[in-house]
Amino acid sequence: MSISLIILAAGMGTRMNSDLPKVLHKIAGAPLVVHAMKSGQALDPVKTVVVAGHGAELVEKAVKAYDPDAEVVLQEEQLGTAHAVAQARAALDGVEGDAIVLYGDTPFIRPETIEAMIEARKENAVVVLGFEAADPGRYGRLITKGDALEAIVEFKDASDEERAITLCNSGVIAADATVLFNLIDAVGNENASGEYYLTDIVGIARSRGLRAAVVRCDEAETLGVNTRAQLAQAEALFQTIARNAAMEDGVTLYEPETVYFAHDTVIGRDTIIEPNVVFGPEVTIESSATIRAFSHLEGCHVSRGATVGPFARLRPGAELAEDVHIGNFVEIKNAIVDEGAKVNHLTYIGDAAIGAGTNIGAGTITCNYDGVFKHKTTIGKNVFIGSNTMLVAPVTVGNNAMTATGTIVTSDVPDGALSIGRVKQTNKDGLAVRMFEKLKQMKQNKQSGA
Residue 85, helix vs strand vs coil: helix
Based on the fold, state whether residues 217 and 286 are members of the same structural domain: no
CATH of the domain at 118: 3.90.550.10
Based on the fold, state whether residues 233 and 213 are members of the same structural domain: no
Predicted pLDDT of residue 347: 98
> Buried (b) or exposed (e) across 230-253, using 16+ Cβ within 10 A?
bbeebbebbbeebbeebeeeebeb
Instruction: Tell me whether residue 441 is in a domain.
Output: no
Return the H-helix or E-strand segment holding 385: strand 384-385
Based on the fold, state whether residues 38 and 161 are members of the same structural domain: yes
Based on the fold, state whether residues 71 and 158 are members of the same structural domain: yes
Based on the fold, state whether residues 325 and 234 are members of the same structural domain: yes
Based on the fold, state whether residues 200 and 245 are members of the same structural domain: no
Residues in the chain where the model's pLDDT stays below 50: none
375 flagged as catalytic = no
Q: What's 407's DSSP letter?
A: -
Instruction: Tell me whether residue 437 is in a domain.
Output: no
Based on the fold, state whether residues 277 and 181 are members of the same structural domain: no
- How far apart are the C-alpha atoms of 84 and 114, rounded to whole Å? 20
Based on the fold, state whether residues 355 and 270 are members of the same structural domain: yes
Domain assignment of residue 96, given as a range: 3-222
Predicted pLDDT of residue 450: 63
Quick check: 345 and 362 in contact, CB under 8 A? yes
The pTM for the full model equals 0.90
Based on the fold, state whether residues 38 and 172 are members of the same structural domain: yes
Predicted pLDDT of residue 187: 94
CATH of the domain at 351: 2.160.10.10
Instruction: Tell me whether residue 428 is in a domain.
Output: no
Give the end of a domain, one of 222, 243, 273.
222
Q: What is the mean pLDDT of the chain?
A: 95
Instruction: Tell me whether residue 426 is in a domain.
Output: no
Predicted pLDDT of residue 47: 96
25, 83, 325, 345: which one is catalytic?
345
Instruction: Tell me whether residue 439 is in a domain.
Output: no
Instruction: Tell me whether residue 433 is in a domain.
Output: no
CA nearest neighbour of 251 among 286, 300, 302, 296: 286
- State the Cα torsion 4-7-8-14 to the nearest 10°: 180
Give the end of a domain, one of 184, 206, 222.
222
The structural domain count of the chain equals 2
Based on the fold, state whether residues 54 and 145 are members of the same structural domain: yes
Residue 339: which residues within 8 A CB-CB, separation 6 or more?
Answer: 321, 322, 323, 324, 356, 357
Based on the fold, state whether residues 142 and 288 are members of the same structural domain: no
- How far apart are the C-alpha atoms of 70 and 90, rounded to whole Å? 14
Quick check: 121 and 175 in contact, CB under 8 A? yes
Based on the fold, state whether residues 202 and 299 are members of the same structural domain: no
